Structure 1
Amino acid sequence: MKVDYIALSIPVFFILIGIELGYDFYKKLKYYRFNDSISNLSQGIGSQITGLFMKTALFFGYKYIFENWRLFDLPDTIWTWIILFIGVDFFYYWFHRMSHQINALWAAHIVHHQSEEYNLTVALRQSWFQSWFSWVFYLPLALIGFDPLMFVTLSAFNTLYQFWIHTRTIKSLGFLEHILNTPSHHRVHHGTNPKYIDKNHAGSLIIWDKMFGTFQKEEEEVYYGITTPLASWNPVWANVHYWAELWNTAKKSDGLSDKIKVFIKPPGWFPTKLGGFKPAPEIDTLNYKKFDSSYSRNIILYVLVQFIIALVAGSALLFLYSKLEMIPIICAATFTILTLLTCGALLENKSWLKHFEFARLILSLFALYLFRDIAIFNTLVISVLIIQISSLIWFYYLQNSLFHVQKTPSV
């Protein structure tokens, strides 16, 4: 039986985020911002939702090679598990490193690096499309003969390990810094400081970076994010904006060769016509500002409620999708993504939101009516119906204050 350990860990993730948030509030560290955290968590929910439509196909891709082309029949022993753990971590390193060195792969992976903060919510900020290609890097393990369920289990735990290293509250782990990927090492990986870029690609073991020359110790203060800030809370735009940049660069490039190179060269590469390679700029510490927005308490409350609705809907879909037909799955996934889009648009005070939100709420009521007879939803329909009608009324009275909010920078 294939168990989704990451989905099962979601409650633990939120408990740990709550603990770190409480510590942050108590110590007045200001590691969290409401808009940034909502954006990070929205990416995590969206990643799990879009993954539902690919994970089975990807699992069977690995399984097909294992069943038809494997070279060895490996025993189910502790040594096989240990060797596979090392193998998973090794190939993760190369997948991760290539995701920073090939533009087409970076276009997906960039999502994880967009946050200008560094806390446990950043760990959940995952690309919606990265898993569509990352599995290819692990196929040598299937060819060797490592069982698919063993691979899925250890791959999940490799991902789970990386959750806790997205924190600034842990400074150093002493001698473990020489072996494991730690919060200190991973803070470097998320830095936009030129000396930190493309360093520390490790999953669980930092030894790979030390072996292959990509290790960098944490020294001066880390400035987080990407070299050209996203400057948006829109979860959909976050996943496609770099593709749009690459496409525009390719259109401006002369010749087929340069157009192809735009997608396979490292980030920062441009044809000679467009100025050639552009290295990461040094951090202007005196004028450094983070993208931020300000809004009323009522809007914050509305965003929080809608986000919780999306979280509940997405979590329910993750645990119930195997019992549902495809059409209800698509409708539930669409509802969740559109609700997350609403949260991002509210945080940016987008003018198109007024009509979009009314349409979203009315369509969600219509969808509830259509699926009222699905037994698995019966206990949820009434409560969700009440919440959506309440949201419709709430938004009607809230809209008058939506378009008078000014964006302000935050240091």
Structure 2
Amino acid sequence: MKVDYIALSIPIFFILIGIELVYSYVKKVQYYRLNDSISNLSQGIGQQLIGVFMKTILFFGYTYLYEHARIFDIPTNIFIWVILFLGVDFLYYWFHRMSHQVNALWAAHVVHHQSEEYNYTVALRQSWFQSWFSWIFYLPLAIIGFDPMLFLTLVAFNTLYQFGIHTKMIGQLGWLEYIINTPSHHRVHHGSNPKYIDKNHGGTLIIWDRLFGTFQKEEERVYYGITKPLASWNPVWANFQYWFELILLAKRMKGLKDTLLVFIKQPGWQPEYAGGALLPPDIDEATYHKYDEKCSDSLMAYSFFQFIIALALGSVQLFLSSKIEFFQNVSLTFFVILTLVSCGAFFERSRWLRLFELGRLILSWGLLILFWTTCPLFWKGVFAAIHLLSFIWFLLIINKIATGE
């Protein structure tokens, strides 16, 4: 039976986020900002919901090769578990490294690096489209003959392990720093400091970075984020912004060769006639500024309330997606993403927000109608009450969007 270990781990993720929040409060350090955290979690929700439609298709490729092209019939024992663990981690290293060195791959992976904080919500900030191509890197394992379910289990372990290293709570870990990927190593990976860029690509182990020359020890303060900040809380824009930049650059190219090179060269590449390579700028405390638009407590409270609704609806869909109709799945995903866009827009006080939010609230009643025959009466009442409250609340704060007060 295919088990979604990531979805089952969601409660643990939020428990650890809560622990980190308490830790930062007790230590009087600011590890979290509401706007950044909701932006990170919005990416995670979107990635999981879009994955509902893609996971079976993507897993099919591995399974097909295993069933029709495998070289060996490999038994399942502890030795094979260890070999496959190393194989998954090795191929993850190369996928991750290529995602930093090929523009078309970076266009997806960049989403994970856009946050200017470093905490457990950043671990959940995932591209909505990266999984569409990451599976290709693992196909050699299917051809060799490693069982698909065993492969899925170890890929899930690799992913879950990496959640735990997205924290500033844990310092260096002595001799373990030479073997496994630690919070210290991964903090370096998320840095926009020139010496830290494109370092420490390992998933569970750090040995691959040490072997292939991409290791960097944490030595100076890490400035988190990317060299050209996203400067937006819009989750949809976050997934398409770099593609937009690549297309604009490609339009400036002379000839088909350079047009194609835009997508396969490393980030920052430009031919000499277009200005030459863009090198990462030096960064220090004076030049590092986090994106943080002014937003009133009332707007933040409303945005947080809507985010909780999106989180609840998204969680329900993840666990019931196989039991509801395709059109209901699509409609629910679309509505949740609209809600996440709205949450980000409140933090930015976007000019188009008033009409957008009004339309979204009206659309929410259409969602209730769509699920009318399958939703229990109690939950119909809860859904209706929540959205009536949202509508009244929005009318009370609508004039604060322009002023931010």
| Matched AA of 2:257 | S
Matches within 5 A, 1:212-227: 212-227=212-227
- Tell me the CA shift for residue 212 of structure 1: 0.6
SS of equivalent to 1:162: helix
- Indicate conservation of the 8 Å contact 2:295/2:348, yes or no: no
- Tell me the CA shift for residue 276 of structure 1: 1.3
- Aligned residue in 2 for 1:290: 290
- Tell me the CA shift for residue 379 of structure 1: 4.5
Matches within 5 A, 1:167-182: 167-182=167-182
* Alpha-carbon distance in structure 2 between the residues aligned to 1:35 and 1:107: 23
- Aligned residue in 1 for 2:367: 367
- Aligned residue in 1 for 2:249: 249
CA-to-aligned-CA distance 1:101-143 (integer Å, 9 cap, x gap)? 0000000000000001111110000000000000000000000
Is 2:301 the partner of 1:305? no
* Alpha-carbon distance in structure 2 between the residues aligned to 1:54 and 1:86: 26
Is 2:132 the partner of 1:132? yes
| Matched AA of 1:259 | T
| Matched AA of 1:400 | N
* Alpha-carbon distance in structure 1 between the residues aligned to 2:5 and 2:93: 21
- Aligned residue in 1 for 2:270: 270
Matches within 5 A, 1:252-401: 252-375=252-375, 378-401=377-400
- Indicate conservation of the 8 Å contact 2:328/2:370, yes or no: no
Is 2:62 the partner of 1:62? yes
Count of residue pairs brought into register by the alignment: 405
CA-to-aligned-CA distance 1:215-271 (integer Å, 9 cap, x gap)? 000001110000000000000000000000000000011111111000000001012
* Alpha-carbon distance in structure 2 between the residues aligned to 1:189 and 1:295: 31
- Aligned residue in 2 for 1:166: 166
* Alpha-carbon distance in structure 1 between the residues aligned to 2:214 and 2:284: 25
SS of equivalent to 1:16: helix
SS of equivalent to 1:54: helix
| Matched AA of 2:185 | H
* Alpha-carbon distance in structure 2 between the residues aligned to 1:368 and 1:15: 31
* Alpha-carbon distance in structure 2 between the residues aligned to 1:397 and 1:218: 48
User: Where in structure 1 do 4 or more consecutive aligned residues deviate above 6 Å?
Assistant: none
* Alpha-carbon distance in structure 2 between the residues aligned to 1:88 and 1:223: 30
For structure 2, list consecutive stretches of 5 or more residues without a partner in the other structure: none
| Matched AA of 2:98 | M
In percent, how many aligned pairs have the same letter?
A: 63
- Tell me the CA shift for residue 287 of structure 1: 3.0
| Matched AA of 2:271 | P
- Tell me the CA shift for residue 370 of structure 1: 2.6
Is 2:403 the partner of 1:404? yes
| Matched AA of 2:394 | F
- Tell me the CA shift for residue 272 of structure 1: 1.6
* Alpha-carbon distance in structure 2 between the residues aligned to 1:299 and 1:259: 44
Is 2:120 the partner of 1:117? no
- Tell me the CA shift for residue 293 of structure 1: 1.7
- Tell me the CA shift for residue 284 of structure 1: 3.7
| TM-score (norm. length: structure 1) | 0.97
SS of equivalent to 1:223: coil
- Aligned residue in 1 for 2:16: 16
- Aligned residue in 1 for 2:151: 151
For structure 1, list consecutive stretches of 5 or more residues without a partner in the other structure: 407-411
- Tell me the CA shift for residue 378 of structure 1: 4.9
* Alpha-carbon distance in structure 2 between the residues aligned to 1:168 and 1:29: 10
* Alpha-carbon distance in structure 1 between the residues aligned to 2:58 and 2:377: 32
| Matched AA of 1:201 | H
| Matched AA of 1:356 | F
* Alpha-carbon distance in structure 2 between the residues aligned to 1:82 and 1:287: 46
| Matched AA of 1:94 | W
CA-to-aligned-CA distance 1:371-394 (integer Å, 9 cap, x gap)? 20015x555322111111110111
| Matched AA of 1:398 | I
What do you get for the CA RMSD once the two structures are aligned? Answer: 1.0
SS of equivalent to 2:381: helix
Is 2:39 the partner of 1:43? no
* Alpha-carbon distance in structure 1 between the residues aligned to 2:284 and 2:249: 26
* Alpha-carbon distance in structure 2 between the residues aligned to 1:71 and 1:317: 39
* Alpha-carbon distance in structure 2 between the residues aligned to 1:380 and 1:315: 15
CA-to-aligned-CA distance 1:68-105 (integer Å, 9 cap, x gap)? 00000011111111111111000000000000000000
* Alpha-carbon distance in structure 1 between the residues aligned to 2:47 and 2:135: 15
